[in-house]
């Protein structure tokens, strides 16, 4: 059964399940979800813990042995299997499936800690077997549109009252890095009296810019037409040393998806059908962003953007004089519905 991280403690308080899968790549929420399972296990009388780190050539028989062996000190144990970014593979999938199928009431608790599980893995036999008897906790990064509200609520844990404007400013400075955001709140709590109200001036004066971005964050901002955020993310990616070909690959990929969606829609198909026809399919949660982009960008405009992307590819290979990072910014900003940096340069540089 799926339970989101903010509802996990309530679910654990009702019943301690025999299996919990915590999956995702957002460090703070992932860590806190695992901590909540450990805490609930201790409160439920589970005193012993065994940790299995899955690395190259890991022997999955160790899980079977751990499940079969009797504890010397306690009747129940918490068995942690830490997959990280690894995949269980055929051997691991079989071991996990067999573990779920041989579970008995009152026995050990399995905490499976892993990176993001895509839709294919969630359809695998091992995942279905574990999910059937336990909880699945997907850990997602907090969406930029919700980040300010999340930080405002989070500040209450540290005895602070955070104004929404201050929360939004803190979100801009720590986007994609919730660990840093929480550390900044802890720092503010140490500097200010208990229960203090924090405004934008306190955040501006005491919080460093520690935002972390990736190309997927950039694509989300482009599709939603968030032009100011697009510029901020582009500057962040460049400053962090992200390679230009990676940024171009992501932008060109989204352009091709939008072109494909346009073609399906022009054939009279519904947006839902067009999204399902993509490989991989576009999940329902992301469809409104694509719908916004399609409404904003006609087919002719998308073709021009794709041609400009090809010129940027030539620039990467040394075959074009287009300023590379300015061009990438121009492409991203135009995709978001804005006016790029190259607009004032000679027409040979422009998107058109």
Sorted by where each begins, the domain ranges of the chain are 5-139, 144-206, 215-349
How many CB atoms within 10 Å of residue 173? 18
Contact 166, 199 (CB under 8 A): yes
Check pLDDT > 60 for residue 72.
Answer: no
Give residue-wise pLDDT tens across range 130-165.
Answer: 999 999 999 988 888 889 999 999 999 899 999 999
Look at residues 31, 10, 33 and name the one whose alpha carbon lies nearest to residue 20. 33
C-alpha to C-alpha distances, 191 to 201, 207, 209, 315, nearest whole angstrom:
14, 12, 18, 49
Q: What are 87-131's pLDDT values in tens digits?
A: 888 999 999 998 888 875 557 889 999 999 888 899 999 999 999
CATH of 215-349 among 3.30.1330.60, 3.40.50.2300, 3.90.79.10, 1.20.272.10: 1.20.272.10
Identify the pLDDT of residue 325: 93
pLDDT at position 284 is: 86
Q: Is CATH 1.10.8.60 the classification given to domain 144-206?
A: yes
| CATH number corresponding to 5-139 | 3.40.50.300
Query: Is this prediction's pTM over 0.75?
Result: no
Non-local (6+) Cβ contacts of 81 within 8 A are 52, 54, 63, 96, 110, 111, 112, 113
Q: Is the pLDDT of residue 67 over 90?
A: no
- Cα separation of 267 and 228, whole Å? 34
Kindly report the average pLDDT of the chain as a whole number: 87
């Amino acid at each position: 059964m799926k339970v989101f991280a903010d509802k996990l403690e309530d679910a654990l308080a009702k019943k301690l399940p025999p299996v919990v899968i915590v999956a995702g790549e957002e460090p703070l929420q992932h860590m806190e979800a695992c901590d909540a399972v450990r805490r609930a296990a201790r409160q439920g009388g589970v005193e012993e813990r065994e940790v299995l780190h899955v690395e190259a050539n890991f022997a999955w028989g160790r899980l079977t042995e751990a499940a079969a062996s009797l504890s010397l000190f306690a009747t129940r144990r918490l068995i942690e299997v830490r997959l990280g970014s690894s995949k269980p593979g055929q051997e691991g999938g079989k071991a996990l499936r067999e573990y779920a199928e041989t579970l008995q009431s009152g026995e050990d608790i399995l905490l499976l800690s892993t990176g993001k599980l895509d839709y294919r893995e969630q359809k695998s036999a091992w995942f279905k077997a574990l999910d059937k008897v336990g909880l699945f906790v997907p850990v997602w990064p907090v969406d930029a549109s919700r980040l300010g509200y999340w930080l405002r609520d989070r500040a209450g844990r540290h005895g602070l009252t955070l104004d929404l404007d201050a929360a939004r400013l803190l979100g801009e400075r720590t986007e994609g890095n919730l660990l840093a955001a929480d550390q900044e709140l802890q720092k503010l709590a140490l500097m200010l009296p208990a229960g203090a109200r924090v405004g934008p001036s306190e955040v501006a004066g005491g919080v460093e810019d520690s935002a972390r971005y990736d190309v997927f964050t950039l694509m989300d901002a482009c599709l939603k037409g968030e032009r100011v955020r697009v510029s901020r993310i582009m500057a962040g990616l460049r400053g962090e040393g992200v390679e230009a070909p990676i940024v171009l690959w992501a932008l060109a990929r989204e352009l091709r998806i939008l072109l494909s969606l346009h073609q399906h829609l022009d054939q009279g198909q519904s947006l839902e059908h067009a999204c399902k026809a993509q490989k991989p399919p576009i999940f329902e949660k992301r469809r409104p962003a694509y719908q916004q982009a399609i409404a904003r960008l006609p087919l002719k405009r998308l073709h021009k953007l794709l041609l400009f992307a090809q010129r940027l590819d030539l620039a990467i290979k040394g075959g074009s004089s287009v300023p590379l990072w300015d061009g990438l910014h121009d492409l991203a900003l135009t995709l978001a519905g804005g006016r790029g940096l190259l607009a004032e340069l000679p027409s040979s540089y422009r998107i058109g």
